Amino acid sequence: RHGKVTGHSIRMGDFRYTEWHRDGAEKAEAMVLTDLEKDPGEETNLLADGKEPAILEKVQTELTKRMAAGVGK
């Protein structure tokens, strides 16, 4: 795989969600959801265990809206 990979991140409450996209691709190449209260070092990806599906939907929706609006560019 070649090309630049860009990370987009959002924090909502105790959670941080990050997606990595290659060369502006719409589909994320990698995703990480962490609970900053329980895991301040961001070592555990909650997505690996299928945990927190409700917060995942919220952060994905909000991040998608912000990316579409160009927030953070």
pLDDT tens track, the chain, 73 positions = 577 998 999 999 999 999 998 886 788 999 999 999 999 999 999 999 888 888 999 999 999 999 888 876 5
Backbone dihedral angles phi then psi of residue 70, each to the nearest 5 degrees: 80, 15
Sheet holding 5-12, edge to edge: 5-12, 15-22, 30-35
Q: Please state, in angstroms and rounded to a whole number, the distance separating the CA atoms of residues 46 and 26.
A: 22
Residue 17 confidence (pLDDT): 97
CA-to-CA distance for 3 and 41, rounded, in angstroms? 28
- The whole-number pLDDT of residue 3 equals 79
pTM assigned to the model: 0.84
Backbone torsions φ then ψ of 10, nearest 5 degrees: -140, 145
The pLDDT of residue 52 is: 83
The span from the CA of 10 to the CA of 24, in Å, is: 17
